[in-house]
Amino acid sequence: MTTQDWVGMLMTVAVFIAMAVAFFYALRPKNAKMLEDQRMTPLRDE
């Protein structure tokens, strides 16, 4: 395997792990209140 193959494989694994952590964090009931409070943040004019 070439260096590019290894870099591509490691990047794929890293993105998969990051997405799994993000989904776990977002779907955890403990974080529901905080995420619900931040739901409209991009639309505020403040």
pLDDT of residue 13: 98
CB 14 within 8 A of CB 22: no
pLDDT at 46: 67
The Cα–Cα gap between 39 and 33 comes to 10
13 and 21 Cβ atoms separated by less than 8 Å:
no
pTM: 0.66
Give me the residue spans of the domains in the chain: 3-39
- Quick check: helix, strand or coil at residue 30? helix
Cα dihedral sign, 24-30-31-33: positive
pLDDT on residue 40: 81
* Residue numbers in the chain where pLDDT is lower than 50: none
Residue type present at position 17: I
